[in-house]
Amino acid sequence: MKPPFGLIVVHGDGSRVTRLSVPRWLAYGAICLEAAVLATVIGFSTDYTLARREVQAFGQRADGERVVVDALQTRLAALRDEIGGWKALHTKLWKAFGPDDGRDPGPDGPSLHDLERVVGRTSKLVSALPLRWPLRGPVNSEYGLRRSPWTGNPEHHHGIDIGGPPGTPVRSPVAGTVVAASSHGRLGKHVALDHGNGVKTLYGHLEAVDVKNGERVARGQVIGLVGNTGRSTGPHLHYELMVDGKPVDPRSVLPER
């Protein structure tokens, strides 16, 4: 049997020395216990480091996901606003072009079927509107109240006067049927077109008329030439727009130039 370990314990001032005998098995056990404790501490430290890294990585992923969520919330808010805008537009269309029976589309607005009918009516009306200029030139006299160039008194001008050199082609802004092609009256040589859906246009003071009554004209087709016929103060085109027999400012449907 191997002898035990000897330990010498020296007290603080060195005046007394104690000798101890420690069995080998106890010394080995203490060393093993210390090693086990050290290994456990190291293991806990490693696990803590890994755990901290995982927490940091999770935090970064969470930050990234939070950014995505914020972006989605912003987009959803924009979509809600857009849907609200569409609902408001649908309500306006319904009021403007819906049935004349006074029927209320309800709190959620008109149905898809109702809107299809409204769009159908609207498209027919839009297709009949003269959305192009019949002549490129300066507007010398606007629609509405003006001072008469003949008497100086206030008068209502039912169209706009577009200036242009004599002989400049005047084109139909939209397809239609000639309902008047005459050289009589205060407008001199003039043409009137019916575009359907209650929409008509009138072209006055022409130098020449290139269409005849009953003729079907296409969009962009020349219907006459700028002139100075009738009661006119100089070469120009007098252009009128009528809806259901009432004069309307042509600029309300013409694009800005």
Give per-residue pLDDT as tens, 16-41: 656 655 565 555 555 655 655 555 65
Residue 81 makes CB contacts below 8 A (sequence gap 6+) with none
pLDDT the model gives residue 105: 57
- Evaluate if residue 239 carries a pLDDT over 90: yes
Domain extent listing, the chain: 88-127, 133-252
Higher pLDDT, 229 or 28: 229
**CB-based contact 170:222 (threshold 8 Å):** yes
Provide the terminal-to-terminal Cα distance of the chain, rounded to the nearest Å: 117
What is 133-252's CATH number?
Answer: 2.70.70.10
Question: Using CA atoms, how far apart are residues 231 and 157, in angstroms rounded to an integer?
Answer: 14
Cα dist. 73→59, 60, 66, 97 in Å? 21, 20, 10, 36
pLDDT at 62 (0 to 100): 61
Q: Please tell me the predicted confidence (pLDDT) of residue 146.
A: 85
- CB–CB of 127/230 below 8 Å? no
Of 21-25, 164-168, 206-210, the range with the lowest mean pLDDT is 21-25
Instruction: Convert the pLDDT of each residue in 68-115 to its tens digit.
Output: 667 767 776 776 676 666 667 666 655 655 555 555 555 555 566 666
pLDDT of residue 155: 85
User: Shortest CA distance to 193 belongs to which of 183, 184, 204, 185?
Assistant: 204
Residue 242 has pLDDT above 90, yes or no: yes
